[in-house]
Amino acid sequence: MPTFHELFGGAPEVRTDAPGRVNLIGEHTDYQEGFVLPLAIPQRTRVELRRRADRQVVVWSAEDPSGGPPQPFALGEEQRGRGWVDYIQGVTVAAANAGHRLGGFEARLESDVPVGSGLSSSAALEVALLRALREAFALTFDDVALALVAQKTETEFVGAPIGVMDQMASSLADTRSALFLDTRTLAFERVPLPGAARLVVIDSGVTHSHATGDYRVRREEAEGAARALGVAVLRDVSATDPRVEELPEPLCRRARHVVTENARVEAAVVAMRRDDLKTLGALLYASHASLRDDYQVSVPELDRLVELARGVPEVYGARVTGGGFGGSVVLVARRDAAPDLAHRLAETYARETGRTPRVIVP
């Protein structure tokens, strides 16, 4: 794998990184101004960067599937349709639109955050690059503003209609505590995981993409449910509001998931503060059932992983994590048993489905 010096003929001025994330609970709530509870994962995207004297940007990625040379573009002349380079172009466009002055640069990217696994590889890239640009060009945004610029990369340039959770988690979360985030106000609090528990994350081997149609349809359906209920967003609807059940299909299911999921996030925070792993686990299973039946974003492979986890006594709870339609599951397990059971579950799942899973955490 070529070094920065081999690619660009010199040394980088700046080195930064940012993590992927796993969402413990609170799925498909962030674009309805609801609550989420993500954590960072150990896997990170790393950026090495050096300024140029012109307006050219030249980037190389170790994850470029073509294995090609560094890719150029000019600031102010960004054009969509260049695959992974769109995320770099989207960052420069979003930063400029937010009033931040950039010059040209050279950048080398490398990541061990799995792509298409529901663990926010794109957010890790955006946040790591924005951290490098902030340092290299003495930009003045804080970590929350950085996350908002990163989100606009995807919503306004790449074309993925996501909420703000992924970028906020990559910018603010750590691996030891969950980030309890109100996506309406952007207020956040770090809630430590109970000491007896450990997270397990298993990639199902079924990839997904937020920029494709299914995710977009779910968001449109949630927005339609909000309009039918006379509110701007479903955050403003109670989980006990009887009008939800009166909505036509599939809007009633979509609304029911969002309003009950918001309530589950708040209950999960209470359970974590009390070290109540039984309740926390039950909330994860309930979240998965809601995502499977009401929001309909699970797939049979993810359902099977969750059911396999349910049969392991050392697992408190499990659910699909991320946008769905593939990706990963997250489990809360007994701390001392987590590494062994993770690999046993992955092996059983692989044998039953023919898929190639990967244990991401631990």
What lies within 8 Å, CB to CB, of 122 at 6+ separation is 87, 154, 158, 160, 166, 210
Decide: 301 and 206 in contact? Cβ < 8 Å: yes
The three-class DSSP label of residue 190 is strand
Structure tokens at 270: 């209470």
Catalytic residue among 30, 86, 166, 294: 166
> Which H helix or E strand runs over 317?
strand 315-321
Other CB atoms within 10 A of residue 233 CB: 18
CA–CA dist 75, 164 (Å, integer): 25
DSSP assignment of 98-118 equals TT-----EEEEEEE-SPTTSS
Decide: 201 and 119 in contact? Cβ < 8 Å: yes
The dihedral formed by the CA atoms of 170, 174, 178 and 182, expressed in degrees to the nearest 10: -40
Q: What is the DSSP secondary structure assignment for residue 210, as one 8-state letter?
A: T
Active site residue 303: no
- Can you list the alpha helix ranges (DSSP code H) found in 137-242? 143-152, 165-172, 213-228
Residue 324 CA neighbour count, 13 Å, CB half:
27
Q: For tokens 């609807």, name the residue.
A: 237
What residues act catalytically?
A: 166
